[in-house]
Amino acid sequence: MIQDDLNDQIQERLRALQADIQVLVAFSIGVIETHPDREKLRKQFAFHYETLHGRWLNSEIAEDFLTEAAAIRDVLDSSFERTRP
């Protein structure tokens, strides 16, 4: 019974984290789409992502974490190509 409760708590927290990520991605896309200097923002984003990625590689984070991070990076990066709303 205790293990079931723990599993439920973990699943609840994972769902909350997924919701957090989706909201932050939507917000980030909105910022990208309305930013007055998209190219400058894109360069800053690339710089900060590469900094994070380097830290992750040095800390031996699991491959699936890196894959998911790259997928979110790709979604955000592709939004720089969208026309302004």
Mean pLDDT score across all residues of the chain: 93
Max intra-chain CA distance, the chain:
55
pTM of the model: 0.83
- CA-CA distances (angstroms) from residue 53 to 2, 48, 64? 37, 9, 13
Question: Which tokens go with 3?
Answer: 């293990």
Q: Which DSSP state fits 62?
A: -
Q: Where are the domains of the chain?
A: 2-81
Q: What pLDDT does 80 receive?
A: 94
Q: Give the chain's length.
A: 85
pLDDT at 28 over 90: yes
User: What burial letters (b/e) apply to 4-18, b meaning 16+ CB within 10 Å?
Assistant: eeeeeeeeeeeeeee
